Amino acid sequence: MRIDILTLFPEIFQNFLDTSIVGRAKNNGIVEVNCINIRDFSKDKHKRVDDYSFGGGPGMVISPEPVFNAIMSAKSERCKTIYLSPKGRTYKQQVANELSSEEHIILLCGHYEGIDNRIMENYIDDEISIGDYVLTGGEIAAMVVVDSIVRLLPGALNNQESFTDESHYNGLLEYPHYTRPRIFNGFEVPEVLLSGNHSKIEEWRKYQSLKVTYERRPDLLKEAKLNKTEQEMLNT
Ligand code: ADE
């Protein structure tokens, strides 16, 4: 997969892209990530990329030309161009799953009052918000998107890091985990986990997963596809 990030602040991404699972996936050729500085496409002698808003009002708007040229420099035949903004559709695991099967995505990060709307209207395929709050720019949102997609790519996680049991994978929150010591500050690990009885452990985990989802996110249960055993557990 290829991901191009168009930003005015490429330096924000440096450590993030070279660290942990994303860094490893890049080194292993599972994903190619490029940061493209929108300012490099400014024709202004001072490399300005913003201007006043037509109609007046405070705040600067990013001019369409450098953004358009940056998009064109990255574009490929089968790519999806996504703008990160608080006005976009809300980002969920389901969206990460969808995007992880794309061949090439371009993530456009906005700043100031946003980007000239003619870019949105004509050159953007999708607009994503990572939540109902306003960030100073789209960069952190782009990192959230990259991180959540890369870990889904085949080969990005090893067996120990498998995502099939974790929160949101099957529409539920994940069961709790424990490691050594068996007693910590007087608090014990649940007995069943030490029993070696794998079907009992699996049943306990399924129950815990349903319980925590019921207690914290009952909204998720409405959407989750539960089998008969899970339905029964939930009704007890
Ligand atoms: N840019 C500013 N706020 C944002 C948000 N909540 N999601 C995505 N991009 C943003």
- Tens digits of per-residue pLDDT, 5-28? 999 999 999 999 999 999 999 999
What CATH number is attached to the domain comprising 173?
A: 1.10.1270.20
Q: Would you say residue 156 lies in a domain?
A: no
Q: Which domain holds residue 206?
A: 164-235
pLDDT category at 236 given cuts 50, 70, 90 is confident
Residue with tokens 């306003």: 134
Q: Please check whether residues 139 and 47 belong to one and the same domain.
A: yes
Interacting residues of 19 by C-beta distance below 8 A, sequence separation 6+: none
Tell me the best of 129, 136, 148 to mutate to test the pocket of ligand 1, counting ligand atoms within 8 Å of each CB and taking the most: 129
What average pLDDT score do residues 140-160 get? 95
Q: How far is the CA of 140 from the centre of ligand 1 (A)?
A: 8
Residue 192: DSSP 8-state: G
**ipTM of the complex in this document:** 0.98
Q: Would you say residue 155 lies in a domain?
A: no
Give residue 166's pLDDT. Answer: 84
This prediction's pTM: 0.94
Verify whether ligand 1 is closer than 6 Å to residue 100 (CB atom).
no
Q: Would you say residue 76 lies in a domain?
A: yes
Verify whether ligand 1 is closer than 6 Å to residue 127 (CB atom).
no
Q: How far is the CA of 138 from the centre of ligand 1 (A)?
A: 5
What average pLDDT score do residues 126-133 get? 98
Verify whether ligand 1 is closer than 6 Å to residue 10 (CB atom).
no
What average pLDDT score do residues 102-111 get? 97
Strands 104-109 and 80-90: parallel
Q: Which of 99, 122, 150 is the C-terminal boundary of a domain?
A: 150
What integer best gives the mean pLDDT of the chain? 96
Cβ neighbour number for residue 76 with a 10 Å cutoff: 10
Angle at 61 between CA 57 and CA 62, to 5 degrees: 175
